[in-house]
Every structure is written in structure tokens, then in C-alpha cells.
Structure 1
């Protein structure tokens, strides 16, 4: 099977990330295996749309689009999918840069026709220059990065992580796009899990589908100072619980929480034990990491309970629309 053409979608929403956006696009243009195109999807921000359109008006490999759906990351991604031309659509966060062989590693896995999605490894770039001593690596998902507990190498997984992921176009034909109403939508609360819900829906539509993580496909994700503080950690873990409740409502608790059970019963207790050991050995941050893990679990559990009650009462809605458009081979 020939190597697939890959379109890259970068969803953007604020001019505050202008330099990050330019760096993200530059990293795609520098790939050892070139992308077919890069699509910048602007989320209801006319000033940013106009500025980016001017920046890339002479570029043949970069297109700037307005989000054609409701405000939010899911609708932005769906806009990019519909407008793209590649056989595979890859997603890169607007505040991340991809290593040179990122797309090459993605492409190699699609030689197997069963593979419907491939994700990669996301490393944090801490604004302060290094990881806060109290911040547990088991919770790096809080800042959009690969966390301790994920399997290493090239492995089959339940779901990929959305900021560093790719999907075969036929995956969206089978399962529809990202659900709106799950994930970030312009609200101040940092919701997530839209890629988890999609991946579970995909494997239900195509039981033979294979989803992979290849940790050689690396991106580096910027973590601003505001997200290095415990206040954000607590808010994000609570929001994750809210999001997991929506996922469970959509696809059922068995699948929706399958990976989380192992994470909660095996990975996190080991992290607490490691933190307490470091505290006994007078290593910096050990007690803080153990405490943060416990606090994160309680915050996520609280969010899940609240989200489940809201879902039962019908207070939260989401929808999945088919993807129209696109001309992938």
C-alpha cells in the first residue's frame, strides 16, 4: 500500500498565541515527510482570521479557515476534516511544535489497513524552565502531555490523545466527527475527552479497527505559568471528571472508564508510594506529589459525580454530526 497523503489541522482561537501558532506551522513545514497541506482553523475570532490570512496569503501549503460550526475545539476539528484533502488527517495543538519525523512515524503505521488512528508522545515545555517539584508525572495529561502510566513504544490503545494524533479519513466516514458539547468550547472550564469518545465510537462502528500510539512521533507542548499552579491542576482534574461523565453517558461506563480503572487502581497508588518514599528520603516535592495525586483523584471523582447527575437530569447535551466534504483518496 502506498504511503498516505496527510493533511495537518491546527485549531487556533487567540492572538495571544501568535508566535506559538507560527512555530507550530513552521514545524509542520519542516517535516522530513512533507504534509499535503496545513489547515489553520480559526475559532470565531475575525481579527485572528484576517491576520493569519494575511500571513499566509502567498503560501500554497497553508490554508486559513473559519470554524464553520459552534464555538469550540470539536467543531473546529470537524471543519478542518471536512475541508482537508488527505487520506489521513493529523492534529497538532496550536501551542506545540512537532519533531522533524513526526509525520513519517505516523505514516508508517498506516501501511496496515486495519489501523484507523495513530497518536504520538507529547512532552511538556514548562514556562518556568522545569517541572514544578510538586507536579506528578502521572497527571501530565492535565497540561495536555503524555503521562506516566501510558504504555511505551508502538502499542495498541483504546484512544489516542487529541493534541498529537492522526486518523484515517474513513474513520470519520464510519463514526462521524468529534462530538460538540464535549471538550473545550470557549468556556473558561478546561473540559476534554472528545477524542476518547470518538475513539470508542469508532471501534464500535469498526470492531476490527486498530488504534495505536507510536511514542517516536513526538511533539513539544508549551505549558504556560498559569498552568503550573495547583489551582489550575485542581480545576482541570475536576473538569476531567465532568467530561468523563459525558463520555460514559455517550458510550457506556464499561468502555468509557475501562482505561481509567487501571490507571486509578495501579498507576496512581504506585505514584503515591513513590512520592511518600521520596519524602522519607528528603527528596524535593515527594510529599507534594503524593498529595497532588490524592487531591486530583478526589477532584476528578467529584466532577464525575456532578457530571453524572447533570447528565441524568438532561442538563448537558452533545451531538455528533457526519463529516461532509473532503476529497481524500
Structure 2
């Protein structure tokens, strides 16, 4: 197995981090190093890392600090600290199953593979999983919830989940973490990175054997997923930006019509919103203004980012 560093961003969730670290350190084969990235004031998490580092025979475990909010900052810290050919990112409230790491990095035997994402099992979650999860349809709709997809073997896709994935450093260093994703929990930044990689000729793989159990932990209040208005605005903005950035020609034209008039369940257009209101199901009709405002903001970001 190629050498791999496991990076775990954390935020005031020491008990979850302890469970995650114990499962990572029990992996066979083992990572070259584990890097935990958190805040200076998170003393409980630092103590968890010190205890893990003292485990007899354990791989090196380091604590690094980040001084700005958001989801992207700890990722950048982890990237700068990594010297191995592969880097894996893992949420601190995830618990890898035995064999997770070996399965996650196995696809990198193909030199064209840039990214591999694994299975995420969330106890009690009963979301719908489409057979084409992880793909972008011809008219631009991204099908999410890939981490819940049960598959018989590896699949080549357009995007995978960020909380359980690994990258080839030679590929990731040539990609860009755009400023738009600095806001909040960086909604859909993973899809943007995967599409960047594919545009350069790399492959993105889903490996269902690389399984983690997601024990949902409390979040930073500034990243609260219960804040429907803020999350809807961020998703609408970011997906608009991604579509304009990655689609060209006829596909962009088709996507624009669908995205602005119909949209998906996370960011509707007026046709979908009015239809839901008439059927008396779905999101509140009043949220449509937030969805459209987010899309307008995404256009502004795209215009600013163009060379």
C-alpha cells in the first residue's frame, strides 16, 4: 500500500474524536501518520490526541491548529503538513470499520485515479438513494447521497463524499479550493474538486468497502445544518457557481434553463416551488426568494472568479 496520511479536522467533540482515532489507529494496514487539526482553545481534543500518541506501537499522531473559521481552513493545514503520496480526510464523528483504509487506497494502484470516496453509514438515516448517486446527469443535475449507496464493487463517478475520502497528492496539489467555499461548511466543495480533477483527465472512484459509521455529533453553531435559510442560500449559490464554472456550450444552456426554472430539492426554481405548494408538500413557498437570491449570488461569484 502506498504511504498515506490521515487528516481529521475536529471541533470541540473530544469523545467523538477519541472513538475516531482509536478506529484509525487499529487499521491494518496502518497509515504513515495521523494529523488532527483543531482550535487552540479545544483543550479536551488536544488531550485526546496526546493520549493517542502515547499508545504503544501507534503510528505518529500530531495536533495542528487552525486560526480561522470554516471547513476549508483545516483542510489546507492538513495539506501543508502532508508529505506522503496519498492523503485521506475523515470526519471526527466517523468511526472507520476494520479494513477501511486498505479498501480506501486500493484503487490508487491505477495511476489515473485522483480521488476515492467510501461508504458512510448513518444509523437511523432513511434517505432515498438513487442508482446514479454520485453522478451529474446530462442536463446538469447532481445526484447526491453517494455515501449511502450500496454497490457490489468500485464505481467510477463524478463526485464522492468529503467526510470519507482520499486523494493522490500529485492531483490535489494542482486543484484550487475556491474562495466561495470559505463560507460556512463549504457546501459542495467536494463536487467542485472532483469535477476539476476529471477535467484534467483523472478518475474519481467510489469504493463501497471503505466503510465508516457516522455518529452524528454537535456542530459549530455557525455551521448549523438546522438553519434551513442559511444552508439553502449557500447551496443555491455554490451549485450555481459550480454549474457555470464546469459546464460549457449546449450543456450549460440546458442546465441554466433547468436550474433556474425547475431546480432540485435543495434549490428550487419557480416551477418546482409552485408545484410543491399546489400539492401541499415540500419546502415552504416563502423559501423560494432565498433560493433565487442564492443563485444570483452564485452568478456574481462566477463573474468575479473569471480570468
- Fold similarity call, TM over 0.5: yes
1:136-156 deviation digits (Å, cap 9, x = unpaired):
334999xx9646678663111
Per the alignment, in what secondary structure is the counterpart of residue 180 of structure 2? coil
Match of 1:41 among 25, 37, 41: 37
Q: CA deviation at 1:38?
A: 0.8
Q: Does 1:305 align with 2:292?
A: yes
Distance verdict in 2 for CA 1:110–1:49, change over 3 Å = same
Match of 2:210 among 214, 217, 236: 217
1:201-231 deviation digits (Å, cap 9, x = unpaired):
2222x22x111001111111123599xxxx9
Per the alignment, in what secondary structure is the counterpart of residue 174 of structure 1? coil
The answer as to whether partners of 2:232 and 2:291 remain within 8 angstroms in 1 is no
Match of 2:20 among 6, 14, 24: 24
List alignment gaps of at least 5 residues for structure 1.
269-289, 320-329
Match of 1:232 among 226, 230, 234: 226
Q: Within 5 A, what are the aligned runs for 1:182-201?
A: 182=181, 185=184, 191-201=186-196
2:283 equivalent in structure 1: 295
Distance verdict in 2 for CA 1:303–1:168, change over 3 Å = farther
TM superposition score normalised by structure 1: 0.66
Q: Within 5 A, what are the aligned runs for 1:1-329?
A: 3-14=1-12, 17-43=13-39, 45=41, 47=43, 50-52=46-48, 54-56=50-52, 58=54, 60-67=59-66, 70-125=68-123, 130-131=124-125, 136-138=127-129, 146=146, 153-176=153-176, 178-182=177-181, 185=184, 191-204=186-199, 206-207=200-201, 209-223=202-216, 232=226, 234=228, 236=231, 239-252=234-247, 294-295=282-283, 304-313=291-300
1:264-323 deviation digits (Å, cap 9, x = unpaired):
x9x98xxxxxxxxxxxxxxxxxxxxx987x439996x7655222212344599889xxxx
List alignment gaps of at least 5 residues for structure 2.
135-143, 220-224, 266-278
TM superposition score normalised by structure 2: 0.71
Distance verdict in 2 for CA 1:114–1:291, change over 3 Å = farther
The answer as to whether partners of 1:158 and 1:211 remain within 8 angstroms in 2 is yes
What count of residue pairs does the alignment treat as equivalent?
265
The answer as to whether partners of 1:7 and 1:35 remain within 8 angstroms in 2 is yes
Specify which structure has the bigger relative contact order, considering alpha-carbon pairs within 8 angstroms and separated by 6 or more residues. 1
Q: CA deviation at 1:97?
A: 0.5
Q: CA RMSD in A?
A: 4.0
Q: CA deviation at 1:250?
A: 4.0
